[in-house]
Amino acid sequence: MPVIFSKSVRGRTGVSLPENDVPDNVSIPENCLRTSPLDLCELSELDVVRHFTALSRKNYGVDTGFYPLGSCTMKYNPKVCEKAAGLDGFANLHPMLTALPDGVKMTQGSLAVIYELENLLCNITAMDAFTLTPMAGAHGELTGMMIIAAYHRKKGNNKTEVLIPDEAHGTNPSSAAVAGYDVKSIPTDPATGLLDIEKLKEAVNEKTAAIMMTNPNTLGLFNPQIKEIAALAHSFDAQLYYDGANLNAIMGKFRPGDGDFDVVHVNLHKTFAAPHGGGGPGSGPVGVKKHLEPFLPVSRVVKKANGEFCVCDDYPDSIGRVAPFFGNFLVNLKAYVYILMMGGEGLKKVSEQAVLSANYIMRSLKDHYDVAYLKTCMHECVLTAKRQMENGVSALDIAKALIDKGFHPPTIYFPLIVKEAMMIEPTETESKEAIDAFIEAMVEIAREAEDNPEALRNAPVSTPVGRLNETKAAKEMNVACL
C-alpha cells in the first residue's frame, strides 16, 4: 500500500479552520522564518479516513482474535474504560492548572482518581506508597532503581552492582544501567527453572545495591524461596525489586510486599487491562515500602484533613521528576475503572483463570511439543520447538504458521536461556473455545512439521506481505519517506 504522502494532490485540504478575526497578521523577523518547503500532505478528510482504515485492516489486535503473546498479558480491554477516558472533564484538563493558586479546586476529580488508584495498588501489592508517574514498565524499573540509588546515597552506602537473573526481561539490566549500576547476571538452575540460590549467595556482597526479580519468573514459575532471597539481600542492605510484568498470575494469592520486596512496579497496560496501543502508551506505577517513600518522585497527591486533594512537590529527598506531571493519567484512569469493576474477588478470579488456562494449554500440548519445565506453571507456559527442529522447523516457522491459522503467535526466542522458546500466555479473558481452537492449530502444526516441514518454512501465505527481509532493512535504513 502506498505511503500517505504519495496520495497528496496539490490544492486539496482536509480541515476547515476559522478565518482570522483579529486585525493583526503574521509578523515574524525575517531571520526566524522557515525558508525550506513545508512538505506535508494535501488530502481530503475522506482520503485520510480511507488511508487509516485500510492500515487498520492490516493489523491484528486483541479485538481481532486470540493473542497469546507471552509476558505481554494481552487481555481484553473493556470498552467502558475507553468511554471513561473520553469524558470531557478528564480528557481536556490542563495539568498546570494545579500550579495556579486555587487551581486544584478545578481538578479535584482527577486528583481523587490518582489518590484512590494509588491506594488500590498499595492494597493489591502490600506496599506502603505508590507513584503513578512512570509512563511504562521500563520507566517504572528505572524510577525504582533511581529510588534505590537515592536511598543508598542518603545512607552513605557505596553500592555499585545490581544482580539480575539471566531469564529476566532485557529492560531489567538496561534500566539498572541507566540508573548508573553495573549489572551481574545470576544463572537459573537448569534443574528447577528457578534462580540458582547458591550462585546468588556467591554473588551478593557489600557492593550489591539491589536484586531484581520477576516472580513468577519469565519461565512462568513461582519462586517459593522468596523470603530467603529477601533476607539475603537485606543482610547487605540491598533492596529487593519486584518486576510486576507477571502480576496477572498472583493477584489475591501473593502480594510482593508480604514477600519482603522493597520496590515493585506494575504494568497497568498488562494486568489492569489498559490497551497496549500498538506499542504504547503504557503506565508503570512504582510502589515502595515505608523506608523508601521519601524518595518517590514528585508531584505527589495528598489528601488534606478536610477531604480536599492537593498537589505537593515539597519532598527534599525525592528523586525529582520522571514525568512532566502525573504520568500517563488517562491510562491510569482506565486501570482505575477496571479495578473498580473487578473488585478484590474479581481480581483473584482473574489470576485463577489465567493460571488455569495456561496450565490447560501446557497439558494439552505436552505430547506434541517439548515443555521447558514440565511442572505446574503460573499464567504462562514455555514450550520449545526442539522436537520440530529435528525436521528443520523452528519456533519462528511455527509462529508464522499460526498466523495462517488466524492466531497471533506466542512470544518466541524468549526467555533467552531456553532454545527455540515459545512463551504462551492465554490470559483469563479467552474462552475455552478460543483456547481449544488454538491448541488444535498447534497440534496440526506439530503434525505438519513432520509431514510437510517445507510448507511451514514458507508461512505465512495469507498475509499482505510474506516474511520481510530484515537484513535489507537494517542495511539500507530507509526509515522515512522524504
Partner 1 sequence: MAAVPTDLLYSKTHEWVQIEGDAVRVGITDHAQDSLGDITFVELPKLGTSVKKGGDAGVIESVKAASDLFSPVTGEVVSLNDSLESAPENINSDPYGSGWLYTVKFTDKSELDSLMDYEAYEKYLETI
Partner 2 sequence: MSYIPVTPEQQREMLLKCGVSSIEELFKDIPAQLVPAEFSLPKGLSELEAVAKLEKLASQNNSKMISFLGAGFYDHFIPAAVDALISRSEFYTAYTPYQSEISQGTLQAIYEYQSHICRLTGMDISNASLYDGGTAVFEACQMAISATGRRRIIVDKGVNPIYRKMLRTHIANLNVELIEHNVFSDGSLSRIALKEIISENVAAAVLQNPNFFGIIDDHSDIVVECKKYGVIAIQAVYPIALSLLKSPAEQGFDIAIGEGQSLGIPLSFGGPYLGFIGARKELARKMPGRIAAKTEDKNGNEGFVLSLQAREQHIRREKATSNICSNEALCALRAHIYLSLMGKEGMKSAASLCHSKAMYCRRRIGSIEQVNMTDSRMFNEFIIELPINAGECAKLMLERGFIAGLPLSQYYKGEIGPNSKGENSADNLLLVTVTEKRTKQQIDDFVKNLEEVICR
Q: Which residue, 120 or 200, has its beta carbon nearer to partner 2?
A: 120
Is residue 468 a contact residue for partner 1 (CB under 8 A)? no
Per CB under 8 A, which of residues 72..111 are in contact with partner 2? 72, 74-78, 80, 82-84, 86-97, 99-103, 105-110
Query: Are the C-beta atoms of residues 410 and 399 closer than 8 Å to each other?
Result: yes
From candidates 224, 302, 390, 450, binder to partner 2 by CB under 8 A: 224
- Cα 153 to chain centroid distance, Å, stands at 29
Smallest distance from partner 1 to CB 476, Å: 10
Strands 129-131 and 309-312, bridge-based pairing: unpaired
State the DSSP code for 129.
E
Number of residues in contact with partner 1, rule: CB under 8 A? 4
Is residue 234 a contact residue for partner 2 (CB under 8 A)? no
Is residue 479 a contact residue for partner 1 (CB under 8 A)? no
Is residue 327 a contact residue for partner 2 (CB under 8 A)? yes
Smallest distance from partner 2 to CB 452, Å: 19
In 3-state terms, what secondary structure has residue 139? helix
Query: Are the C-beta atoms of residues 246 and 253 closer than 8 Å to each other?
Result: no
User: Can you tell me which residue has the cell 506434541?
Assistant: 368
Question: What single-letter amino acid sits at 383?
Answer: L
Is residue 239 a contact residue for partner 2 (CB under 8 A)? no
Query: How far is 443 from 434, CA to CA, in rounded Å?
Result: 14
The residues near 227 (Cβ < 8 Å, ≥ 6 apart) are: 259, 260
Query: Are the C-beta atoms of residues 328 and 283 closer than 8 Å to each other?
Result: yes
Q: Which residue, 32 or 468, has its beta carbon nearer to partner 1?
A: 468
Q: Which residue, 277 or 451, has its beta carbon nearer to partner 2?
A: 277
In 3-state terms, what secondary structure has residue 261? coil
Query: Are the C-beta atoms of residues 147 and 133 closer than 8 Å to each other?
Result: no
Strand partners, 303: 309
Dihedral sign computed on CA atoms, order 101, 106, 112, 114: negative
Smallest distance from partner 2 to CB 118, Å: 13
Is residue 478 a contact residue for partner 1 (CB under 8 A)? no
Query: How far is 24 from 45, CA to CA, in rounded Å?
Result: 30
- 445 interface partner picked from partner 2, partner 1, none, CB below 5 to 8 A per type: none
Is residue 471 a contact residue for partner 1 (CB under 8 A)? yes
From 267-275, 296-304, 448-456, 471-479, span contacting partner 1 (CB under 8 A):
471-479
Query: How far is 206 from 202, CA to CA, in rounded Å?
Result: 12
From candidates 433, 470, 478, 479, binder to partner 1 by CB under 8 A: 470
From candidates 207, 265, 269, 300, binder to partner 2 by CB under 8 A: 269
Smallest distance from partner 2 to CB 262, Å: 16
From candidates 79, 304, 432, 475, binder to partner 1 by CB under 8 A: 475
Is residue 14 a contact residue for partner 2 (CB under 8 A)? yes
The residue ranges of DSSP E strands in 177-285, in sequence order, are 182-186, 188-189, 194-195, 208-213, 239-244, 263-266
Neighbouring CB atoms inside 10 A of 411's CB total 21
From candidates 142, 301, 383, 456, binder to partner 2 by CB under 8 A: 142
Smallest distance from partner 1 to CB 456, Å: 19
Per CB under 8 A, which of residues 283..322 are in contact with partner 2? 284, 297, 319-322
- What residue ranges bind partner 1 (CB under 8 A)? 470-471, 474-475
